[in-house]
Structure 1
Amino acid sequence: SAMPHKKNPILSENITGLARMIRSYALPAMENVNLWHERDISHSSVERVIAPDATIALDFILNRLTEIIGKLVVHPKVMLENLNKSLGLYNSQRILLALIQKGMSREKAYSIVQSVAMKSWKEKKLFSESLKKDNRITKFLSEKEIDTSFDSKYFLKNVEKIFKRIF
């Protein structure tokens, strides 16, 4: 890296590059489909390259990813600090959708939410508080509805389902 202070995620970057290679094999595989009813030697030459190469690359990716995840260190306190630095702006889409559900056009809702978000950021005020003080918002959403849109539990609501599905 040209930035000496930065620790490059080399292992993750390596996975990304190999995934790009595997995706690139989709084109020759799809081109083989057109000729399935008329198989000839051109099929096997492609298949002899992409099948083992993609399989080996995928095996390597999965092993490397297992290694990365095994050594992954999560700092919940730092994550929360980073979220708080955003002043709640990451909830802007939830407010946008709530306004649309209340009958506001998407274009108008987008414009209003964006202007309140920009003002909130510029003034370094909590986005939720800025929303509660804006008549264009409070005409459609109550204070409780705004607070509900900022409940972080919303983003975690499917965690148990995901874990059950994976493990």
Structure 2
Amino acid sequence: MKVYDFMIRKVFAVKPTDTIRELLDILNSNRIGGVPVIDDQGHLVGMVSDGDVLRYLSPKPLGIASLVYIIEDGDKEEVLQEKLNTQVKEIMTKRNLLYVSPDEDFERAICLLSKHHVKKLPVVNGAGRVVGVISRGDLIHNISKRLLQPENEVFSLFG
């Protein structure tokens, strides 16, 4: 089995200059937890997840006991509103990006997802463009579907 057998071809993505507000709209309206960040040519430049947003929006501990939080000028809601205007490039993962190619064995995707504890991998073609995504949920769904088939087909799952 290859990655292209499992990947989602309809890719939701954001640009580095999109705001967190725009990102949240995409995540919420499509019920997804993360997206690739692409440039104008569709090349992968980062990944951003709902976890990245939560880490950015959470109060930052200050002091030895970590009991005091920085309260920026204005009330908490104003601070959150301002933070929602931050560009995605400020919170996205840019280094050591994990991805797979469509022609790779799906076992590689399983290994990357499990080893690095990520929920989603972009699928990047030879030209460096994002052509799909593959998530833990996609793999589990497809593996489960195949495991419910007759026993002789189960063994073909891994080659």
Q: Output the TM-score relative to the length of structure 1.
A: 0.23
Judging by fraction of residues, say which structure has more helix: 1
Q: Output the TM-score relative to the length of structure 2.
A: 0.24
Q: Which has the higher contact order (CA 8 A, sep 6+)?
A: 2
Judging by fraction of residues, say which structure has more strand: 2
